[in-house]
């Protein structure tokens, strides 16, 4: 079978390099970035000492990661369960909520529409996008009631009716583009969960680690979830890493003095992965990644507003928060055309919702100002090209 897509042979920062000598700015992955010296060197040093370790004993990199996450995550979140990916971390978070409510008989969940929490069974069960076959999981182990993201009235009714073990959501819905909730939404969700006894599981795989201009998106409303799910950028562009972090009181209720028997991971929390994650958390604080995102956010917002103003005939709306952005076109064909043109102009945009007319921008956390300018120039040229085609069609 012939290869029709570019073959990536190297990367650094936010720039991907292909076998045919081209460069693409990665605005699709919502990653940390590539070949960052601090992360790469820390992992390389650990590789020569203790790359993997038995889970029968504690290793120092894991202890360092647990401490760093307790210091970095909101409020009294203090107990970390390491995993190999965000999907595995979500599985663990769901099991933790079920374990917390095992005596009360609460077995289901309430989740919001428009989020994709991963490709494993439980994570897919609490994900629902536009495609029915993507949402329906044969033999799914849990019952899930879905509500519209941002609608607290609908959420309250569902929680009162279903009495779920937990409510599951992203602080900003990213599964179908970028849906920003109304002000006060996260605080209201926290209140609804507190009143009903349901836990609140928040997935910050995409929005966390400074990407929205704060350490975590929930910080915008000073909300502390009961379980925080992380992954993706936590691996520093070097290794797959996931984790979920909870309160000590929840951990005690589920496990007491026993080990976390609901969460078993042979390689989750291995020394290499933990060193990568600790390096990412260090970089987040030392280099002020939230502050960098706030600076980049202004440039992204200005550029997208200009694009919308110039091409209202093809662009329906634009949205951005920090280093997350989305352009919604009037029709899917224009979105697909813009994605193709973006590649031609050296930008790899997020293409997960082209069938809904949405093109996303999710540059890495360490994206430089110069790389961001190149990306925005490429997106502008891509939409210009789509707009020209639309004008010619009308003429």
Residue 372 phi/psi, 5-degree rounding, is -65, -40
Cα separation, 12 vs 66, whole angstroms? 28
The β-bridge relationship of strands 23-27 and 144-147 is: unpaired
Q: Which two tokens stand for residue 241?
A: 């890493």
> Which ranges in 178-220 belong to alpha helices (H)?
185-196
pLDDT of the residue at 53:
81
pLDDT of the residue at 262:
64
- Contact by Cβ (8 Å): 16, 26: yes
Q: What DSSP character marks residue 235?
A: G
Q: How many CA atoms lie within 13 A of 190 on its CB side?
A: 15
pLDDT of the residue at 260:
64
Cα separation, 124 vs 362, whole angstroms? 22
Helix (H) / strand (E) element for 340: namely helix 332-344
**What is the model's pTM?**
0.94
Would you give per-residue pLDDT tens digits along the chain (395 residues)?
A: 344 578 999 999 999 999 999 999 999 999 999 999 999 999 999 999 988 887 777 789 999 999 999 999 999 999 999 999 999 999 999 999 999 998 888 889 999 999 999 988 888 899 987 543 444 444 456 789 999 999 999 999 999 999 999 999 999 999 999 999 999 999 999 999 999 999 999 999 999 999 999 999 999 999 999 999 999 999 999 999 999 999 999 999 998 766 665 677 788 889 999 999 999 999 999 999 999 999 999 999 999 999 999 999 999 999 999 999 999 999 999 999 999 999 999 999 999 999 999 999 999 999 999 999 999 999 999 999 998 765 556 54
Alpha-carbon separation of residue 69 from 80, 142, 262, 295, 366 (angstroms): 7, 29, 21, 25, 20
pLDDT of the residue at 136:
45
- Contact by Cβ (8 Å): 165, 109: yes
Closest C-alpha among 142, 85, 75 to residue 111:
142
pLDDT of the residue at 223:
98
Q: Which domains does the chain have, with CATH numbers?
A: 8-30+288-394 (3.90.1150.10), 37-287 (3.40.640.10)
For the beta carbon of residue 36, count every other beta carbon within 10 angstroms: 22
Q: What is the DSSP string of 30-75?
A: ----B--HHHHHHHHHHHTT-SS--TTS--HHHHHHHHHHHHHSST
Closest C-alpha among 160, 166, 202, 196 to residue 181:
202
């Amino acid at each position: 079978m012939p290869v029709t897509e570019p073959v990536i042979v190297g990367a650094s920062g936010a720039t991907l390099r292909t076998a045919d000598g081209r460069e693409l700015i990665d605005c699709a992955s919502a990653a940390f970035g590539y070949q960052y010296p601090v992360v790469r060197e820390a992992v390389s040093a650990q590789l020569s000492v203790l790359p993997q370790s038995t889970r029968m004993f504690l290793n120092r990199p894991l202890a360092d990661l647990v401490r760093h996450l307790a210091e970095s995550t909101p409020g009294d979140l203090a107990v970390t369960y390491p995993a190999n990916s965000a999907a595995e971390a979500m599985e663990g978070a769901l099991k933790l909520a079920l374990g917390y409510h095992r005596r009360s008989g609460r077995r289901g969940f309430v989740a919001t529409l428009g989020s994709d929490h991963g490709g494993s069974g439980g994570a897919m069960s609490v994900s629902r996008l536009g495609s029915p076959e993507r949402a329906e999981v044969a033999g799914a182990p849990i019952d899930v009631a879905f509500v519209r993201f941002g609608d607290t009235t609908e959420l309250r009714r569902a929680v009162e009716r279903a009495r779920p073990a937990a409510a599951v959501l992203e602080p900003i819905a990213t599964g179908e583009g970028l849906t920003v909730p109304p002000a006060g939404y996260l605080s209201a969700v926290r209140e609804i969960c507190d009143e009903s006894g349901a836990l609140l599981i928040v997935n910050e795989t995409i929005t966390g680690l400074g990407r929205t201009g704060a350490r975590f998106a929930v910080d915008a409303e000073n909300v502390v979830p009961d379980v925080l799910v992380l992954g993706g950028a936590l691996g520093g562009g070097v290794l797959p890493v996931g984790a979920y972090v909870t309160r000590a009181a929840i951990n005690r209720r589920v496990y007491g003095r026993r080990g976390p028997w609901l969460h078993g991971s042979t390689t989750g929390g291995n020394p290499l992965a933990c060193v990568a994650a600790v390096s990412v958390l260090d970089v987040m604080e030392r280099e002020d990644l939230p502050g960098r995102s706030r600076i980049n956010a202004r440039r992204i917002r200005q550029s997208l507003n200009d694009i919308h103003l110039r091409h209202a005939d093809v662009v329906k709306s634009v949205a951005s928060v920090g280093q997350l952005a989305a352009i919604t076109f009037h029709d899917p064909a224009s979105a697909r055309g813009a994605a193709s043109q973006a590649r031609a102009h050296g930008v790899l945009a997020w293409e997960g919702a082209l069938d809904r007319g949405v093109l996303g921008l999710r540059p890495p956390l360490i994206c430089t100002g110069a790389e961001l300018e190149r990306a925005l120039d490429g997106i502008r040229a891509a939409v210009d090209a789509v707009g020209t085609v639309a004008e010619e069609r009308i003429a």
